[in-house]
């Protein structure tokens, strides 16, 4: 029983970590590099690039002007 609990606990931690990496990647893919190397380029930030994740999924009539 203890081994099963340990396996389930580790599986949940791995899923949580992968979910977090996916969410970070979805918002700012360039930040993954900064997490690994410690260097972040401001010119690649979402604000500078005017990046809007999932903006293209809205219907044309629902889009708000930037």
In tens, the pLDDT along 24-63 reads: 888 777 777 787 888 877 777 777 766 666 666 666 655 5
Binned at pLDDT 50, 70 and 90, residue 65 comes out as: low
Given a cut of 60, whether residue 5 has pLDDT beyond it is yes
Helices (H), ranges, the chain: 2-27, 31-37, 46-49
Please state, as a whole number, how many other Cβ atoms lie within 10 Å of the Cβ of residue 19: 10
How many domains would you assign to the chain? 1
pLDDT, position 4: 93
Residue 51: helix, strand or coil by DSSP?
coil
Domain residue limits at 29: 2-62
pLDDT, position 61: 58
pLDDT, position 41: 76
């Amino acid at each position: 029983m203890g081994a099963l609990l340990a396996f389930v606990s580790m599986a949940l931690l791995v899923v949580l970590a992968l979910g977090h990496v996916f969410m970070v990647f979805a918002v700012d893919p360039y930040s993954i590099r900064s997490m690994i190397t410690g260097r972040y380029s401001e010119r690649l930030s979402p604000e500078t690039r005017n990046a809007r994740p999932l903006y293209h999924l809205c219907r044309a009539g629902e889009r708000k002007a930037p």
